[in-house]
Structure 1
Amino acid sequence: MLAVLLPVWAGDDADHLATAFRSVTDEQTRRPDQVVIVRDGPVGARLQTRIDELVAGSCVPVDVVALETNRGLGPALDAGLAACEHELVARMDADDISLPHRFATQVPIIESGVDVLGSGLLEFGTDLDDVVGSRTPPVTAADITRRARFASPFNHPTVVYRREVVQSVGGYGDFPLMEDYLLWAKLIMAGARVANVAEPLVAYRVGAGAYARRGGWAQLRAELALQRRFLGLGFTTPAQFARNVVVRGGYRLVPERLRRSAYRRVVAHYPAGNPQG
């Protein structure tokens, strides 16, 4: 059985939330058995009204975890995980769109013995007719493990995982901007069975400033903290640490137009046989 974990905060758009919610409920050919909405702190009246309407009109059971203060994505997701009643949990963001066959594709694969399963995704602008790019992840466990030493091997909004496996490594924790990547590393080190579907199963909304948000000093500080954590865990070697600090750290500080080009060439697609390790 499947739960959907969907965090919401004050900065989310009410209409986008409604589209995202319906894409994982009414529009799925294989509907989930529960949706957990985590309200990460107070939200405006319009967004709260929309949440109430979605809960009241849902075709599947919905639980709302209302956090009194904005605690950030990692702690919000951990609170939501504790409220999930089913073994399998699918991540969903409040401004993305799951394609109708997402769960029908992913659930049988993860039920076959996988612990963490992601997929490719499409990037879109104003609507689904405005596709501006895509992200193709590594597919096999070996390639996922290899990729993880340099870049996140999963598209977080596409992932379905086993709740107990995630909680067994401490969940997301409070590691702002990099909580999902740190979780993947912990899971890989713990021997989790990992896989991806190359096919895009989620459409990711790319708003204004998407590439600007991937750079700057806050991102650089988070990047350096993550690389130090990886080295301390033994997830990366000293040589990999040095490479990542130079390449990934430098990526955070280059002009936005160069960051956009580098992202499309290096991060968004993982060709089979990529030797990065």
Structure 2
Amino acid sequence: METGGARERRDDGFSLLLPVYAGDDAGFLRLAFASSVLEQSQPPAEVVIVQDGPVPGDLAEELRRLAEESPVPVRLVVLPENRGLSEALNAGLAVCGYEVVARIDADDVSMPERFERQWRLIREGYDLIGTGMAEFERDHGTPGDVRVPPVGARRIREHARTHNPFNHPTMMYRLAAVERVGGYQPLGKMEDYWLGVRLIVSGARVENIPDPLVGYRVGSGAFSRRGGWAEARTEWRLQSEMRRIGFITTAQYLRNVVMKGAYRLMPASLKRVLFRRFVAGGLPGDRAV
């Protein structure tokens, strides 16, 4: 088990940050780990797994096995109680031994060339690199909808005023840039969006690879979970924060509050159609990088 604290970080590799909590599936975790560590053309130098509170026996056993058998060093950070994703990620960042960190969730899948392609751009001086991702329900070998992110600093900045410009499980970033803007901050399920906005405002160099280098597991109720009053309130809070730091104007704030509030409260079937039409498909002119 690892504890937090300042560390001298290396720049000849990157850390993989993987949060786990009681609701995760041991089999999905095994697949996420294998795809992001064992099957990568450029694997991470270390893996930092954060166990966010107590977990069931099969998941605890899988974590133990991964830590003991992985050819890549594993740092297991165990939080005594569930503290939520933001605190779990910050606890993991505190023990990362490398200046660059990549993210993956415990139920997603990385394509074999993912980190090699992101690392190449990080070495060119970028602070944050995201990628496209392909949704799947059961078999990542038969992907469904592809979420194509915006490419280029201008498109990313404009996109961020209405939607998250980065697919959150695909991020690779410089830890110093993230620390400068205050790390992850609690904001419902939008902590990654808020982090991306703060990085953009800080002047960080950001880019996306539009190709789907991550398989994103979704269930049949995914669009239902993106709705309701709790999600709408989180959305409104995010809009308020973006207006507070001057990232959006008052007019943009009012537009977003109305449109996004309506989106969060509409039926899941209509929400899915609109998401595919206006968010997942990317923008005309996006190119591979």
**RMSD, matched Cα:** 1.0
In the alignment, is residue 164 of structure 1 matched against residue 170 of structure 2?
A: no
Structure 2 distance, partners of 1:273, 1:214, is 28
> 1:209 maps to what in 2?
221
Spell out, residue by residue over 1:159-214, the C-alpha distance to the aligned partner (whole angstroms, 9 max, x if none).
Answer: 10001110110001122211111111111110000000011110001123111111
In the alignment, is residue 133 of structure 1 matched against residue 142 of structure 2?
A: no
> 1:199 maps to what in 2?
211
> 2:118 maps to what in 1?
106
- For residue 140 of structure 1, what is the amino acid of its counterpart? G
Contact 1:7 1:38 in 2 (8 A): yes
The verdict on how the C-alpha distance between 1:31 and 1:273 changes in structure 2, with shifts beyond 3 A counting, is closer
Structure 1 distance, partners of 2:78, 2:169, is 21
> 1:245 maps to what in 2?
257
In the alignment, is residue 269 of structure 1 matched against residue 252 of structure 2?
A: no
Structure 2 distance, partners of 1:267, 1:248, is 12
Select which of 133, 136, 143 maps to 1:121.
133
In the alignment, is residue 187 of structure 1 matched against residue 199 of structure 2?
A: yes
Structure 2 distance, partners of 1:42, 1:141, is 41
> 1:60 maps to what in 2?
72
Structure 2 distance, partners of 1:253, 1:226, is 16
Shift of 1:47: 0.3
In the alignment, is residue 177 of structure 1 matched against residue 195 of structure 2?
A: no
Identity %: 50
Q: Which runs of 4+ in 1 moved over 3 A?
A: none
In the alignment, is residue 33 of structure 1 matched against residue 71 of structure 2?
A: no
- For residue 155 of structure 2, what is the amino acid of its counterpart? D
Structure 2 distance, partners of 1:234, 1:129, is 42
- For residue 65 of structure 2, what is the amino acid of its counterpart? E
SS of residue in 1 equivalent to 2:24: coil
TM-score norm. by structure 1 comes to 0.97
Structure 1 distance, partners of 2:188, 2:180, is 20
Contact 1:138 1:272 in 2 (8 A): no
Shift of 1:271: 1.3
Shift of 1:112: 0.3
Contact 1:39 1:65 in 2 (8 A): yes
SS of residue in 2 equivalent to 1:211: helix
Select which of 148, 153, 170 maps to 2:165.
153
Shift of 1:232: 1.1
> 1:15 maps to what in 2?
27
Give the gaps of 5 or more residues in structure 2: 1-12
Shift of 1:273: 5.8
SS of residue in 1 equivalent to 2:179: helix
Structure 1 distance, partners of 2:53, 2:77, is 10
Structure 2 distance, partners of 1:207, 1:22, is 21
SS of residue in 2 equivalent to 1:84: coil
Select which of 219, 235, 249 maps to 2:247.
235
Spell out, residue by residue over 1:74-123, the C-alpha distance to the aligned partner (whole angstroms, 9 max, x if none).
Answer: 11111111111101100000000000111111101111000000000010
